[in-house]
Amino acid sequence: MIALDIERLTSGYGEAMVLRDLSLRVAAGEVLAVLGKNGMGKSTLLKTVMGFLPARGGRISLFETSATGRPPHLLASRGVAYSPQDQAIFQDLTVEENLRLGLPRGTAFAAGLDLVAGFFPFLAKRRRQRAGTLSGGEQKMLIIGRALLARPRLMLIDEITEGLQPSVILRLAEVLRAERQRGGTAILLVEQNVRFALSLADRYAVLARGEIVDEGPVGGGSAEARIAEHLSV
């Protein structure tokens, strides 16, 4: 099954077109890493898929049903989890309250908390703390914890490693790998940390000026060199 199918997508802000005729596919259980320099449209791609930006042209399908023009909350209920780049938590709610918001309807919180605590133990220990007082890196972990709580079928992750300590990045890669093994979660990963992205991804795509300029499988060893070349120009 195809988790995400994008055909000739065009999107942008105001008069500026950021994505041009972009097409890509993510199969169920597959991890696609989207890499590229700043301002090339990586975040715009995720925002458009999630319905926060209207598509100016093209089609988006999720799990083989059309998702073009659907609002974010309907996509979320179809099993898409989005973790944006900015610190998208509710600052004035506690850690627990933030997590509860990620809980699918009819699921017990205790089980969910166990799940998240298995990923990031500190979240269970500090569930009464106001989320805004967590450090920047801890907030990132809360975002991913909340996303995973919903047991999503597709995750859209925007630069999650930014501001995380190295050991947490390793832990995060493990968590995402395990989650994918367990539930066949597909992931569209936007990253600046090439090593992390390639440690997780099956395929990569390099975005430049709103178009995919290179793509291929990660295995084989040539990917890293080719990506480095694209990023350095």
Partner 1 sequence: MAILGVIALALVAVAPLLIDEYSVNILVRSFLYGCIAVTVDILWGFTGILTFGQAAFFGIGAYALGLAVTTYDFSAPVVIGAFIAGPLAAAAVAAIVAWLAFAPKVSPLYISVVTLVQSVIFVQVIYSGGNFTGSSSGLSGFDTFDVPMEGWFRIAGVALVVVTALGWRFVRSDFGRLLVAIRENEQRCRYCGIGTARVKTMLLAASAVVAAMAGFAYAAYNDVIAPDLGNFEFGTELVIWVALGGRGTLLGPAIAAVLIDFISAYLSGTLPFIWQLIVGLVFIVVIVLMPQGLGPALANLFGRLIPAGRRAIAAVPELLQLPDPDVGGGADGTAIAIAGLGRRYGSLHVLEDIAFEARAGELVSLVGPNGAGKTTLIRCISDGMERSAGSVAIGGTQIGRMAPEACVRLGLGRKFQAPNVFDALTVAESLRIARARQERLSFWRRADVVRLPAASLRVVRATGLADQLGATVKHLSHGAKQALELAMVLAMEPRVLLLDEPTAGLTKAERSLIGGVLVDLVREHGLCILLVEHDLEFVREISSRIIVLHQGRILLDGSVAEVTNSELVRTVYSGEPHAEAA
Q: Which is nearer to partner 1, 64 or 162 (CB)?
A: 162
Type and span of the H or E element at 62:
strand 57-62
Q: Which is nearer to partner 1, 47 or 180 (CB)?
A: 47
Shortest separation between residue 111's beta carbon and partner 1, angstroms: 26
Quote the CA–CA distance of 35 and 190 in Å, as a whole number.
6
Strand partners, 1: none
Q: Which is nearer to partner 1, 79 or 145 (CB)?
A: 145
CB 127 within 8 A of CB 113: yes
Quote the CA–CA distance of 33 and 196 in Å, as a whole number.
10
Shortest separation between residue 9's beta carbon and partner 1, angstroms: 18
Shortest separation between residue 5's beta carbon and partner 1, angstroms: 25
Shortest separation between residue 192's beta carbon and partner 1, angstroms: 6
Q: Which is nearer to partner 1, 27 or 231 (CB)?
A: 231
Shortest separation between residue 174's beta carbon and partner 1, angstroms: 11
Taking the mean position of all CA atoms in its chain, how far away is CA 122? 22
Binding site for partner 1 (CB under 8 A): 13-16, 37-40, 42-43, 85-87, 122, 133-138, 140-141, 159, 162-168, 170-171, 192, 194, 228, 231-232
Q: Where are the alpha helices (DSSP H) in the chain?
A: 42-49, 72-77, 95-101, 109-119, 121-125, 136-149, 166-183, 194-200, 222-232
Q: Which is nearer to partner 1, 1 or 213 (CB)?
A: 213
User: To 10 degrees, the CA torsion angle through 89, 102, 69, 3?
Assistant: 120
Q: Which is nearer to partner 1, 215 or 224 (CB)?
A: 224
Instruction: Specify the length of the chain in residues.
Output: 233
CA dihedral (52, 58, 64, 65) positive or negative: positive
Query: Which whole-number Å values give the CA distances from 3 to 61, 154, 167, in the listed order?
Result: 8, 7, 30
Shortest separation between residue 117's beta carbon and partner 1, angstroms: 16
Quote the CA–CA distance of 99 and 144 in Å, as a whole number.
10
Shortest separation between residue 77's beta carbon and partner 1, angstroms: 27
